[in-house]
């Protein structure tokens, strides 16, 4: 396995998709910070804002259960947060591992992102394309479900 990102991704097709994944996750991470800022006292927020992403999501899930919002909206928001946490596992593979050209002993090769910790965790281009679709859709769904938590408080103009 040789890191060959410049050779493999000469047309930037991998980089474009990786960037889209990170843009979508940037929005989702921002939502977790917004929730913590809105739902915690400043002194507590300062203590928890540096938590790892999964821990922060778990805390937001716990806090969401205590919000004054219709139960079904809270459940949708929590469901979306759980999906974010699951999808973040693949995001972490992309974030912490190189794009490589994997040459097999029995012949053939495959380009992809391979986990340095577990070679069985391999993201090929098709899987990355699907990850982008999932991340961008989930970003929209999470944003909408957070907004809907407060919708019942709005008054008609």
25 assigned to some structural domain: yes
The verdict on residue 90 lying in a domain is yes
Q: Does some domain include residue 44?
A: yes
15-32: string of b/e by CB count within 10 Å (b at 16+)? eebbebbeebbeebbebb
Task: State pTM to two decimals.
Answer: 0.86
pLDDT at 10: 78
- The reported pLDDT for the residue numbered 59 is 98
Does residue 157 lie in a domain region? no
Q: What is the pLDDT of residue 1?
A: 46
How many domains does the chain fold into?
Answer: 1
- Whether the CB-CB separation of 96 and 30 falls below 8 Å is answered with no
Q: Which domain range does residue 84 map to?
A: 2-151
Q: Which residues of the chain carry a pLDDT beneath 50?
A: 1-3, 157
H-type helices in 12-150, by residue range?
13-39, 42-48, 53-64, 71-96, 125-150
Cα separation, 122 vs 148, whole angstroms: 36
Asked if residue 55 belongs to a domain, the reply is yes
């Amino acid at each position: 396995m040789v890191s060959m990102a410049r050779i493999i991704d000469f047309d930037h097709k991998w980089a474009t998709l990786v960037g889209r994944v990170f843009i979508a996750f940037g929005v989702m991470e921002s939502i977790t910070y917004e929730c913590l800022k809105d739902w915690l006292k400043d002194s507590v927020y300062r203590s928890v804002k540096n938590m790892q992403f999964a821990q922060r999501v778990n805390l937001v899930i716990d806090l969401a259960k205590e919000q004054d919002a219709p139960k079904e909206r809270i459940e949708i928001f929590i469901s979306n947060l759980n999906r974010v946490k699951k999808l973040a596992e693949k995001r972490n593979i992309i974030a912490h591992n190189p794009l490589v050209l994997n040459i097999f002993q029995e012949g053939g090769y495959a380009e992809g992102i391979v986990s340095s910790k577990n070679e069985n965790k391999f993201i090929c281009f098709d899987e990355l394309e699907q990850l982008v679709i999932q991340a961008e859709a989930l970003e929209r769904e999470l944003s909408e479900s957070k907004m809907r938590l407060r919708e019942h408080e709005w008054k008609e103009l």
